[in-house]
Copies of this chain bind each other. A is one copy, B any other.
Amino acid sequence: MIQCPRGTRDFLPDEMEKRRFYENRLRHTAQTFGFREIETPIFEDAELFILRSGPNVLKELYAFKDKGDRDIALRPEMTAPAIRMFVNGMSNDPKPIKIFYFGQCFRYERPQSGRYREFFQFGAELIGSATPETDAEVICMAAAMIKELGLKDYKIHIGHIGVLRQAIADAGVPKERTAEVLQKLDKKLYDEARPLLEDMNVDSDTIDSIFTLTETVGGIEVLSKVPGEAGDYLRQVTSYMHAMGVDNFDIDLGVVRGLDYYTGMVFEAEAPALGAEKQICGGGSYTLSELFGGEKVFSTGFAIGFDRILLAIEKEGQVYEPKGIGAYVVPVSDDVRLKSAEIVAMLRSAGISSDIDIMGRKMAKAMKYASSVRAKYAVIVGAKELEEDSVTLRDMATGEQQLVRIGELVAKMQSASQ
């Protein structure tokens, strides 16, 4: 038997219905915030991702040459494609531009719990604005999405990459080595960061104070410890968030986000239900368009790990119940099959999801199948009842049966489901 490739998944009907349900809730929330959906190709020039993330990204890309000898790669994330699209086709649109996207991304890594080679991301970018309101809007939307999915226990951590960048610059770290240091700090790898900083002649006290900075966590009162403009800026961001009813966050200067292109506010959301791999969302303000040949434009965006957040709500005990169909039509004998087909077509035209026995099954088997597809009603079509233009309507939950005129069938079923 051929299996699906390692790290990928098939989504069977029950699972898929659940995923679409939650996907649509995310989509609805984004639209409520005035964001509009876009879609970019599954693969891109590999160069695009190298420009965004550096050549190291190649190690985990599904990269290959197409038949035209072009280097292409399956997208590992969708911010770079979205910004490429903005540069190519939306750069003259009125600002700010608010877009979101949902789809598959690909990373060649060891599959583990909640991590797949083909995984699903929901993301949004607010392009062309660089104000505290912008950042607040984006964080609040991320919070609204998480809430909309019904996740109970989560926390948003808000930081500012400018604070650490400034501290590192003040310590005498050369600009071209900043990223290297930040990557260690992002992962809290102090044992590796220390020799690195010592190597750049940063003294031990300064190193300690940088480490202390990354451990600065707390309510908005912490902002008094945040030096420079960053503190004022985050204060404004959080007051807008408060006005929009989002208070479930802390200030955490240890949020670094391992990438070079972040410029100011950065944030992450975590779901403790997930244990060690608890991050469900991450983002911040950045500039990226100039790397792809456009003008420099300030943006703020985030991505939600769809697989992870579904895992989190599942671990919290949330259960999705598949809906089932409205009616299953059962012809009692062969001579009523055509009439039964007419009836199922009538129900479908009225928007009632309906199915019909197409295998010539006997009543008991057909009823068993109707249960297996979670039909709300069985519509039993018998020759005798048809003489009176009627059918038997059976409520599958209660087993109650009644004779209903065909002309009244739709109304009967619709009124019952009010």
Residues of A within 8 A of B (CB-CB), count: 100
A137 within 8 A of B: yes
A355–B141 CA distance with the chains assembled, in angstroms: 12
**Residue A348 contacts which of B2, B33, B37, B372 (CB distance < 8 angstroms)?**
B33
Tally of this chain's copies: 2
A260 within 8 A of B: no
**Residue A337 contacts which of B4, B129, B133, B341 (CB distance < 8 angstroms)?**
B133
Give the interface segment out of A9-17, A181-189, A204-212, A388-396.
A9-17
**Residue A2 contacts which of B31, B131, B292 (CB distance < 8 angstroms)?**
B292
A90 within 8 A of B: yes
List of B residues within 8 angstroms of A99 by Cβ:
13
User: Contact: A38 with B64, CB < 8 Å?
Assistant: no
A43–B43 CA distance with the chains assembled, in angstroms: 12
Closest residue of B by beta carbon distance from A241: B341
A12–B8 CA distance with the chains assembled, in angstroms: 28
**Residue A351 contacts which of B32, B70, B98 (CB distance < 8 angstroms)?**
B32
User: Contact: B137 with A356, CB < 8 Å?
Assistant: yes
A403 within 8 A of B: no
User: Contact: A38 with B12, CB < 8 Å?
Assistant: yes
User: Contact: B32 with A88, CB < 8 Å?
Assistant: no
List of B residues within 8 angstroms of A54 by Cβ:
none
A317 within 8 A of B: no
A171–B351 CA distance with the chains assembled, in angstroms: 49
User: In the complex, which residues 131-149 of chain A have their Cβ closer than 8 Å to any Cβ of chain B?
Assistant: 131, 133-134, 136-137, 140, 144
Q: Would A67 and B108 be within 8 Å (CB), given that A4-B88, A337-B133, A359-B129 are in contact?
A: yes
A175 within 8 A of B: no
Name 6 extra pairs, CB < 8 A, besides A5-B70, A16-B38, A33-B355.
A5-B66, A8-B41, A16-B36, A16-B37, A62-B66, A131-B360
What are 30 A-B pairs with beta-carbon distances under 8 A? A1-B88, A1-B292, A1-B293, A2-B48, A2-B51, A3-B88, A4-B81, A4-B88, A5-B72, A8-B42, A9-B41, A10-B85, A10-B88, A11-B40, A12-B38, A20-B37, A31-B353, A33-B348, A42-B74, A96-B358, A129-B358, A131-B359, A131-B360, A133-B341, A134-B358, A137-B358, A239-B338, A240-B341, A243-B341, A244-B344
